[in-house]
Amino acid sequence: MTTFQDLGVSAPILKALAADGYTAPTPIQQQAIPIVLKGRDLIGLAQTGTGKTAAFAVPMLDRLHQARKHAGEKSCRALVLAPTRELAAQIGDSFRAYGRFLGLSVAVVFGGASMFKQKQALYRGVDVLVATPGRLLDHVAQRSVRLDAVEILVLDEADHMLDMGFIHDLKRIAKLVPVKRQTLFFSATMPAPIAELAGQFLQDAERVAVTPPSTTAERVEQAVVHVDQMKKQDLLHALLADKTITRALVFARTKHGADRVMRKLESAGFDAEAIHGNKSQGQRTRALEAFKKGQARLLVATEIAARGIDVDDVSHVINYDLPNVPEQYVHRIGRTARAGQGGVAISFCAPDERAYLRDIERLTKQAVPVLETDYSLAAPRADERAPRPKGPAQRAHPARKRAPQKHHASEAHGKAHAKQGHGAQRGRDEGDRRDRKGNSVWSNAGAPPKYRKQRKPQGGQR
Ligand code: AMP
């Protein structure tokens, strides 16, 4: 078995890794660490959960340590660019953890936090600066940092940075860093625009690739519930009676959707937090901490806010809404299969989300088993899974419904539910939705719902 020592990692870092319980390098670490230690440029095809942060942070720290020198005032020796605040903060924490016996300095800058404090952190110069692109350029403009001494540049989650519209910022940053440098470029996917971006940053790069999206999907036990949009909240409450759901990340499509789901969870007595772009940085940090510490069993998140969230022991990922980009599905469910573990992902699929489900199944090359619940609509028949019809014809197969169920059994919840305009929810949800590019009430006191037998969808074109 290869060890970190075999890969050439030096003693103080080995000590830190051992203290963190890292016994063996993950595949991306095995491949990437020797390349980075040699000073070569690297293009890494890997997603979160594979150990990619250590794959670049460990050898970078080693190189900075071996060739120790002062960064110079308002300057940095290594610059790591990340798409979101959460990811930047996590990368900073990783550098601090792996480098704790080296005495190298690490600073993290991102939007939504005090410029002043960040300027103070940058004033004397730092060994490692982790930044979101926009805030970094703010600092450049205010002359609180200069990038002409960067020895190593990292672009992490480059595909997300492009999705989030950072392309121009990245191009500007490319002009500010020295031509002679080492560049490491990580992305979970490599469509043409990302490959083109990589070409602009890298020179004679070595390429490593691990865990193509479909294999993460294989480690996670998946299920889909076909459900009416308006019944999703009740279904969620029903599922949560299952105590094996110890820590769940719930994905909603929009910020308002995430807030609505969280409020209803709270009024039904569940411990939930929400994290999305409308929250202040303080609120986001507090929500994430409560979730990490187990004070909140549920974290309701939007795709963007959840990027890079690294929380161990997430038992379940629940897709309250299916993502319209199938790669996002693989990313989401990967949150429950950290560092090689398994997990469960349950997706709620409304009739008008069935095309998204088909895209997901096509990408992962596997059918998602259908979970039958008391809230389930009939699963689409095989002939309904034919290739996507163009335009609005997509809804040409209305799902067969069961007899309506009694809605509210608990008065308290019923009132809260009614106050929030449950009946209007569908309209709002649909209004919120983006296009492909661009009865009983359940409380957590009740018994777990009785699932009917699991049924694999039949054949058809998938
Ligand atoms: P990442 O892909 O960088 O987001 O890492 C995913 C998770 O795996 C993080 O919680 C890391 O702390 C953990 N991890 C990374 N490398 C190792 C390793 N060699 N052994 C055990 N855990 C690891």
Decide which of 209, 239, 272 is a domain's last residue.
209
Which percentage of the chain shows pLDDT scores above 90?
56
Residue 392 falls within a domain, yes or no?
A: no
The Cα 48–Cα 372 span in angstroms is: 31
Phi then psi dihedrals of residue 294, to 5 deg: 85, 5
> 428 CB under 6 A from ligand 1?
no
At residue 382, what is the residue type? A
The Cα 295–Cα 218 span in angstroms is: 30
Which percentage of the chain shows pLDDT scores above 70?
78
The Cα 184–Cα 443 span in angstroms is: 48
The Cα 213–Cα 329 span in angstroms is: 10
Give residue 20 CA to ligand 1 midpoint distance, Å.
10
Start-to-end CA distance of the chain, whole Å, equals 39
Say whether both 185 and 260 belong to one domain: no
Say whether both 202 and 317 belong to one domain: no
pLDDT tens for each residue of 147-156? 999 999 999 9
Q: What is the reported pLDDT for 288?
A: 87
> 59 CB under 6 A from ligand 1?
no
Least confident range from 180-194, 363-377, 414-428: namely 414-428
Orientation angle between helical segments 85-98 and 11-19, nearest 10 degrees:
120
Q: Which two tokens stand for residue 245?
A: 């759901």
Residue 138 falls within a domain, yes or no?
A: yes
Residue 358 falls within a domain, yes or no?
A: yes
Give residue 54 CA to ligand 1 midpoint distance, Å.
7
- Indicate whether 14 pLDDT > 60: yes
Give the SS3 label for residue 198: helix
The residue that leads in pLDDT, 364 or 15, is: 15
Q: Which two tokens stand for residue 270?
A: 């569940």
Q: What is the reported pLDDT for 307?
A: 67
Phi then psi dihedrals of residue 108, to 5 deg: -125, 130
Atom of ligand 1 at shortest distance to CA of 47? 2
Containing structural domain, residue 92: 11-209
Nearest protein Cα to ligand 1, atom 15? 51
The Cα 55–Cα 81 span in angstroms is: 15
Task: Point out which residues pair with 408 in neighbouring strands.
Answer: none
Q: Which of 2, 3, 22 is the best mutation target for the ligand 1 pocket, counting ligand atoms within 8 Å of the beta carbon and taking the most?
A: 22
Give residue 139 CA to ligand 1 midpoint distance, Å.
31
The Cα 80–Cα 108 span in angstroms is: 9
> 54 CB under 6 A from ligand 1?
yes
Q: CB-based contacts of 447: which residues, under 8 Å, 6+ apart? A: 241
Residue 431 falls within a domain, yes or no?
A: no
Nearest protein Cα to ligand 1, atom 18? 22
Q: What is the reported pLDDT for 341?
A: 63
Q: Which of 29, 184, 310 is the best mutation target for the ligand 1 pocket, counting ligand atoms within 8 Å of the beta carbon and taking the most?
A: 310
Say whether both 205 and 225 belong to one domain: no
Q: Which two tokens stand for residue 440?
A: 């009983």
Q: Which two tokens stand for residue 205?
A: 């790069």
Say whether both 160 and 303 belong to one domain: no
The Cα 81–Cα 132 span in angstroms is: 6
Give residue 96 CA to ligand 1 midpoint distance, Å.
14
Q: What is the reported pLDDT for 327?
A: 79
Beta 106-109 vs 452-455: how paired, if at all? Answer: unpaired
> 44 CB under 6 A from ligand 1?
no
Give residue 427 CA to ligand 1 midpoint distance, Å.
41
- For the segment 363-379, the average pLDDT, to the nearest whole number, is 88
Give residue 283 CA to ligand 1 midpoint distance, Å.
26
Q: What is the reported pLDDT for 216?
A: 63
Residue 395 falls within a domain, yes or no?
A: no
Q: What is the reported pLDDT for 381?
A: 63
The Cα 345–Cα 316 span in angstroms is: 6
> 26 CB under 6 A from ligand 1?
yes
Backbone Cα Rg of the chain: 23
Tell me the helix, strand and coil percentages in the chain, rounded to 5: 45, 15, 40
Phi then psi dihedrals of residue 457, to 5 deg: -65, 145
Say whether both 177 and 306 belong to one domain: no
> 4 CB under 6 A from ligand 1?
no
Nearest protein Cα to ligand 1, atom 19? 25
- Indicate whether 408 pLDDT > 80: no
> 211 CB under 6 A from ligand 1?
no
- Indicate whether 316 pLDDT > 50: yes
Give residue 50 CA to ligand 1 midpoint distance, Å.
7
What DSSP string describes 260-311? HHHHHHHHTT--EEEE-TTS-HHHHHHHHHHHHTTS-SEEEEEHHHHTT---
Per-residue confidence band for 428, with pLDDT thresholds at 50, 70 and 90: very low
- Indicate whether 53 pLDDT > 70: yes
* Tally of domains within the chain: 2
Nearest protein Cα to ligand 1, atom 1? 51
pLDDT tens for each residue of 118-149? 999 999 999 999 999 999 999 999 999 999 99
Phi then psi dihedrals of residue 140, to 5 deg: -60, -45
| Burial label, 456 (beta-carbon count in 10 A; 0-12, 13-18, 19+) | exposed
Per-residue confidence band for 342, with pLDDT thresholds at 50, 70 and 90: low
- Indicate whether 334 pLDDT > 50: yes
The residue that leads in pLDDT, 322 or 430, is: 322
Phi then psi dihedrals of residue 195, to 5 deg: -60, -35
Give residue 70 CA to ligand 1 midpoint distance, Å.
30
Mean pLDDT of the residues in the chain: 81
- For the segment 291-306, the average pLDDT, to the nearest whole number, is 86
Say whether both 93 and 205 belong to one domain: yes
Nearest protein Cα to ligand 1, atom 11? 51
- For the segment 109-116, the average pLDDT, to the nearest whole number, is 94
- Indicate whether 229 pLDDT > 90: yes
pTM > 0.75: yes or no:
no
Decide which of 184, 209, 234 is a domain's last residue.
209
Residue 445 falls within a domain, yes or no?
A: no
Q: What is the reported pLDDT for 169?
A: 96
Q: What is the reported pLDDT for 451?
A: 42
Q: What is the reported pLDDT for 387?
A: 43
Q: Which of 3, 26, 61 is the best mutation target for the ligand 1 pocket, counting ligand atoms within 8 Å of the beta carbon and taking the most?
A: 26
Q: What is the reported pLDDT for 384?
A: 53
Question: What CATH number should be reported for the domain holding residue 136?
Answer: 3.40.50.300
- For the segment 35-44, the average pLDDT, to the nearest whole number, is 97
Say whether both 152 and 268 belong to one domain: no
- What number of other Cβ atoms are within 10 A of residue 117's Cβ? 11
> 201 CB under 6 A from ligand 1?
no
The Cα 24–Cα 339 span in angstroms is: 11
The residue that leads in pLDDT, 425 or 43, is: 43
At residue 369, what is the residue type? P
Dmax (CA) for the chain in angstroms is: 73
pLDDT tens for each residue of 255-266? 899 999 999 999
Length of the chain: 462
Q: Are 288 and 275 in contact (CB under 8 A)?
A: yes
Highest-scoring range by mean pLDDT, 232-236, 386-390, 407-411: 232-236
Per-residue confidence band for 211, with pLDDT thresholds at 50, 70 and 90: low
Say whether both 205 and 336 belong to one domain: no
Say whether both 249 and 189 belong to one domain: no
- Indicate whether 284 pLDDT > 60: yes
Say whether both 171 and 233 belong to one domain: no
Give the SS3 label for residue 365: coil
pLDDT tens for each residue of 191-201? 888 889 999 99
The residue that leads in pLDDT, 122 or 243, is: 122
Say whether both 320 and 377 belong to one domain: yes
pLDDT tens for each residue of 80-112? 999 999 899 999 999 999 999 999 999 999 999
Say whether both 158 and 112 belong to one domain: yes
Q: Which two tokens stand for residue 176?
A: 């500010």
Highest-scoring range by mean pLDDT, 7-11, 332-336, 390-394: 7-11
- For the segment 359-384, the average pLDDT, to the nearest whole number, is 82
Decide which of 336, 360, 384 is a domain's last residue.
384
Residue 407 falls within a domain, yes or no?
A: no
Residue 399 falls within a domain, yes or no?
A: no
> 51 CB under 6 A from ligand 1?
yes
> 358 CB under 6 A from ligand 1?
no
Beta 206-209 vs 42-45: how paired, if at all? Answer: parallel
Q: Which two tokens stand for residue 29?
A: 């670490």
- Indicate whether 16 pLDDT > 60: yes
What DSSP string describes 73-118? TTBEEEEEE-SSHHHHHHHHHHHHHHTTTTT--EEEE-TTS-HHHH
